[in-house]
Amino acid sequence: MDEERTDVRIEARIEPAGVADAGEILTLQRAGYVGEAQLYGDPFLPPLVESLAQIRAAIENTASGGDIVLKACLHGRVVGAARAKQVGRTGSVFRLVVAPDVQGRGIGTALLRAVEEAFRGRVEELVLFTGDRSDGSLRLCRRFGYTEIRRERIAPHRGLVHMRKPLADP
């Protein structure tokens, strides 16, 4: 019997991640990107081979003020995470991930909204990329007003869709 997916939204708490969250974020990343690895037939996607030390370093870099690492918490569990980096007047969003058992419940939307708010007034635009076969990610980005700027083939079995969104002050 197939399990039906509910469309119930979950109110997760979005907050900055700390170094102590690195292990949970690593576990979340691996769980969240397994589906992508299967979709592309590539178990070596960067989020799957990133080390705990690399995630800790990314979180530590937030102290300089240009990087952002956010987590989404639900009942004491990290169920989502997102990273972003500021380079000049551009914010680059990456590693947006939601736990497989709560996908489709608004957590990715809340994380992306929080990244945009954190960068508002600091950058002129946000850029990101996602896999060319990642329909859910592409829908989320388009719903948020990101437009495709180019496609890139990085392997015979894998392509990326690069997107951008101007970020005007409210």
Q: What is the tens place of the pLDDT at every residue in 90-133?
A: 999 999 999 999 998 899 999 999 999 999 999 999 999 888 88
CB 57 within 8 A of CB 92: no
| pLDDT per position as a tens digit, 38-67 | 888 888 888 999 999 999 999 998 877 778
CB 80 within 8 A of CB 71: yes
Report the pLDDT averaged over residues 30-37.
90
The pLDDT score that the predictor gives to residue 7 is: 56
| pLDDT per position as a tens digit, 125-170 | 999 988 888 888 888 889 889 999 999 988 777 888 899 999 876 5
CB 129 within 8 A of CB 96: no
User: What residues does each domain of the chain span?
Assistant: 13-166
The pLDDT score that the predictor gives to residue 3 is: 34
Question: Helix 52-60 to helix 22-40 angle, to the nearest 10 degrees?
Answer: 120
H helices of 22-161, in order, are: 22-40, 46-49, 52-60, 107-119, 135-143
pLDDT(10) > 80: no
Does the domain at residues 13-166 carry the CATH identifier 3.40.50.300? no
Q: What is the mean pLDDT of the chain?
A: 88
Nearest to 26, CA basis, from 52, 3, 8, 6: 52
The pLDDT score that the predictor gives to residue 24 is: 96
Residue in this structure with the two tokens 């030390």, named with its chain if needed: 53
